[in-house]
Amino acid sequence: MTVATKAINVFIADPLSEDGIAPLRQQTGLDLNIIVDTGLTQDELISKIADVDVLLVRSQTTVNREVIQAATNLKLIGRAGVGVDNIDLTAATERGIIVVNAPDGNTNSAAEHTIAMMTSLARHIPQAFNTLQNGKWDRKSYVGVELKNKTLGVVGFGRIGVEVAYRAKGSRMNVLAYDPFLTEERAQELGVTKATVDEICEQADFITVHTPLLPETRNMINKDKFAIMKDGVRVINCARGGIINEDDLYDAIVAGKVAGAALDVFIEEPAVGHKLLTLPQVIATPHLGASTIEAQESVAVDVSNDIIKFFNTGTVTSPVNMPSIPKEKLAQVEPFFALAEQLGKFLIQVTGEAVKELNVSYAGEVANYDVRPLTANAIKGLFSTKQGTHVNDVNARYLAEQIGIQINEHKTTTAKGFTSLITIEVKTENETHTVSGTLLNGLGARIVKVEGFGVDVKPEGTILYVKNTDKPGAIGRLATKLAEKEINIATMQVGRSEVGGQAVMLLSVDNAVATEDIAYVTELENIDEVKAINL
Ligand SMILES: NC(=O)c1ccc[n+]([C@@H]2O[C@H](COP(=O)([O-])OP(=O)(O)OC[C@H]3O[C@@H](n4cnc5c(N)ncnc54)[C@H](O)[C@@H]3O)[C@@H](O)[C@H]2O)c1
Ligand SMILES: O=C(O)[C@H](O)COP(=O)(O)O
């Protein structure tokens, strides 16, 4: 995908573990120029990133559309952590900028922090210490509750949610879990009870949220949910500010419904002076869930390795805005990349009108593989005539859909005599065109069908696509005319529907020509259309 030819500028905008970025500093195969410049305002960041190839952040730096637009060289955004709600993924995807994160590196730390917060909440540890520091030995005010035999509701049962549940079970809590992807079997396997959010609200003594911040999870815990909770419930948010509505939480605490809240995250951070922090029932930390030596080293190592991998191979381990395909699976489809792109490139030059629909069919062996990167390559081919559009695996589908191209993938195991066959069909308002290609053992890529007619053409160089009526003399007249213009035919393939019917010729020629340069051949008898396809 990306081949580095000059120094790669890596801009680290948030504090990262020095040990964690050691893979970047120590690697020798790439010419990396590492710039560490943290704590910048948005304007300062914007003024410094025009030449940046890689932007590395944690949660402090907001990578919004403006930042992305200013970073005209940007190829990759690395998030040393999980949440990517501080990154405008749409803006990055539009530009074909890959976003990677480190999904596993801080799971343990975040889970441990959640348990620490829950225990501190149950036993008023921060408040009690505070009084002690202020010279009071107050034992009466800080009578807590046990965790044992209490019910913990976990909303969002992904990596951290599951780890929290394990630990809560160690404290002998009953765990209710909600996640759209949680199956009954998995719940049983993990020793938790699958529940709805409402069931959690109604039954839990402690509720902890571990979802990403998404439109569907924003304000997920709101006044309606507080209303159905048990009196004296305690809530914990070590995921993202906004999943629990902050105003509704404040009101529920003041009303005595909620006995306490432990918060590591806030809608606006830093949250200094936040009204929730004025309540004695609230304990809080300044977004410390992932702040351990181990987690910071681990997440930074993971993104560093993905940066190196990207510039070496064009693939990454933890993409956020493109399909994540394991290396072995990618290797199965990699041989077809160029073919899929060439077929797309071929068809867009045959097609005279705006494409409305793209159907990509995979037949035979290739149909057993994860073909999403192949469809992306076919789309890349379709965009090849659109000057100035940078299309890659990240933005191909997005760009196509943006301009109203409907994309369909079909798979069938029968490939009619070929081991694998890829067929691309494009539909416009008035036309439908198809081309099929395959990889021939030892011979490389071939176009084997055009508009349903069998042919055998290498998808390379200049190919003349000629539609003619199958009448004697048509081919001869065409060959003579091209010879007069010193256009040498290397190979010629003719496909026809029936004798005397519509035919399609594919002529590989030695000269690079444009359709306008050879428009004269359409004046010949029985030659209906000609297009110069440059692959
Ligand atoms: N406080 C911190 O420092 C800290 C550290 C690490 C992670 N986090 C945050 O914790 C969150 C979870 O991280 P993770 O590593 O477990 O991520 P994850 O992707 O492994 O798990 C998230 C889970 O949320 C579920 N989910 C999505 N939409 C949902 C919905 N509408 N209702 C219920 N569940 C839903 C997903 O199915 C998934 O299982 C992220 O927001 C992350 O940013 C915070
Ligand atoms: O989403 C995450 O990984 C956490 O919120 C950690 O954020 P941080 O990298 O800013 O500590």
pLDDT tens readout for residues 461-497: 999 999 888 888 878 888 888 888 888 899 888 887 7
Q: Which of 270-284, 289-303, 464-478 has the lowest mean pLDDT?
A: 464-478
Show the ligand 2 pocket: residues with CB < 6 angstroms: 58-59, 80-83, 106, 287, 289-291
Element containing residue 166 per DSSP (H, E): helix 159-170
Q: How far is the CA of 81 from the centre of ligand 2 (A)?
A: 5
What's the confidence (pLDDT) of residue 387? Answer: 67
Same domain, 477 and 529: yes
Please indicate whether residue 522 or residue 283 has the higher confidence score (pLDDT).
283
3-class secondary structure, 133: helix
What is the mean pLDDT of the segment spanning 267-276? 97
Please indicate whether residue 297 or residue 526 has the higher confidence score (pLDDT).
297
Instruction: Quote the pTM value.
Output: 0.83
ipTM of the complex in this document: 0.99
246-265 pLDDT, tens per residue? 999 999 999 999 999 999 99
Alpha-carbon dihedral sign for residues 183, 185, 188, 189: negative
237 within 8 A of 263, measured Cβ to Cβ = yes
Amino acid sitting at position 461: G
Q: Residue 131 pLDDT > 90, yes or no? A: yes
Evaluate whether residue 318 is within a structural domain.
Answer: no
Evaluate whether residue 1 is within a structural domain.
Answer: no
Evaluate whether residue 3 is within a structural domain.
Answer: no
Q: DSSP string of 340-408?
A: HHHHHHHHHHH--S---EEEEEEEEGGGGS--HHHHHHHHHHHGGGSTT----TTTHHHHHHHTT-EEE
What is the mean pLDDT of the segment spanning 221-232? 98
Same domain, 210 and 340: no
Same domain, 157 and 14: no
Same domain, 176 and 43: no
Same domain, 248 and 117: yes
What's the confidence (pLDDT) of residue 83? Answer: 95
Q: Alpha-carbon distance 395 to 376, whole Å?
A: 8
Same domain, 357 and 423: yes
CATH number at residue 75: 3.40.50.720
What's the confidence (pLDDT) of residue 469? Answer: 86
Q: How far is CA 404 from its chain centroid?
A: 20
Q: How far is the CA of 212 from the centre of ligand 1 (A)?
A: 4
Same domain, 200 and 180: yes
Q: Alpha-carbon distance 520 to 532, whole Å?
A: 12
* Closest atom, ligand 2, to C-alpha of 84: 1
Domain of 480, in residue numbers: 462-535
Does the Cβ of 154 fall within 6 Å of ligand 1? no
* Closest atom, ligand 1, to C-alpha of 216: 31
Element containing residue 42 per DSSP (H, E): helix 42-48
292 within 8 A of 109, measured Cβ to Cβ = yes
Bridge-partner residues for 99, per DSSP? Answer: 77
Element containing residue 101 per DSSP (H, E): strand 98-101
Evaluate whether residue 319 is within a structural domain.
Answer: no
Does the Cβ of 110 fall within 6 Å of ligand 1? yes
Please indicate whether residue 77 or residue 472 has the higher confidence score (pLDDT).
77
Q: Which ligand number lies closest to the CA of residue 107?
A: 1
Same domain, 132 and 219: yes
Q: Residue 356 pLDDT > 90, yes or no? A: yes
* Closest atom, ligand 1, to C-alpha of 214: 28
Does the Cβ of 159 fall within 6 Å of ligand 1? yes
Does the Cβ of 157 fall within 6 Å of ligand 1? yes
319-354 pLDDT, tens per residue? 899 877 887 888 899 999 999 999 999 999 999 788
CATH number at residue 484: 3.30.70.260
Mutate which of 16, 21, 38, 59 for ligand 2 pocket (most atoms within 8 A of beta carbon): 59
Mutate which of 58, 213, 264, 288 for ligand 2 pocket (most atoms within 8 A of beta carbon): 58
Q: Residue 204 pLDDT > 70, yes or no? A: yes
Which of 428, 460, 492 terminates a domain? The answer is 460
Which of 234, 266, 284 terminates a domain? The answer is 284
Q: Residue 374 pLDDT > 90, yes or no? A: yes
Evaluate whether residue 2 is within a structural domain.
Answer: no
Distance in Å from the first CA to the final CA of the chain: 18
Q: DSSP string of 479-500?
A: HHHHHHTT--EEEEEEEESSTT
Mutate which of 63, 85, 101, 106 for ligand 2 pocket (most atoms within 8 A of beta carbon): 106
Alpha-carbon dihedral sign for residues 332, 335, 338, 343: negative
Q: How many domains does the chain have?
A: 4
Amino acid sitting at position 92: A
Indicate the pLDDT class of residue 3, thresholds 50, 70 and 90. Answer: very low
Does the Cβ of 112 fall within 6 Å of ligand 1? no
What is the mean pLDDT of the segment spanning 285-308? 98
Which of 460, 491, 522 terminates a domain? The answer is 460
Q: DSSP string of 169-223?
A: HHTT-EEEEE-TT--HHHHHHTT-EE--HHHHHHH-SEEEE-----TTTTT-B-H
387-401 pLDDT, tens per residue? 667 888 889 989 898
What's the confidence (pLDDT) of residue 352? Answer: 76
- Residue 433: C-alpha distances to residues 346, 445, 452, 509 (Å): 10, 20, 9, 22
Q: How far is the CA of 217 from the centre of ligand 1 (A)?
A: 10
CATH number at residue 401: 3.30.1330.90
The catalytic residues are: 240, 269, 287
- Pairing verdict, β 54-57 and 76-79: parallel
Indicate the pLDDT class of residue 2, thresholds 50, 70 and 90. Answer: very low
Give the tokens for residue 266: 């806030």
Give the tokens for residue 438: 């395959």
Evaluate whether residue 71 is within a structural domain.
Answer: yes
Q: Alpha-carbon distance 187 to 194, whole Å?
A: 6
For the chain, what percent of residues have pLDDT higher than 90?
76
Evaluate whether residue 64 is within a structural domain.
Answer: yes
Evaluate whether residue 320 is within a structural domain.
Answer: no
Same domain, 196 and 280: yes
Does the Cβ of 107 fall within 6 Å of ligand 1? yes
Q: Residue 172 pLDDT > 60, yes or no? A: yes
Same domain, 265 and 156: yes
Q: How far is the CA of 287 from the centre of ligand 2 (A)?
A: 7
Indicate the pLDDT class of residue 529, thresholds 50, 70 and 90. Answer: confident
Closest C-alpha to ligand 1, atom 23: 158
Q: Which ligand number lies closest to the CA of residue 221?
A: 1
What is the mean pLDDT of the segment spanning 224-236? 98
Same domain, 194 and 235: yes
What's the confidence (pLDDT) of residue 385? Answer: 78
Same domain, 451 and 494: no
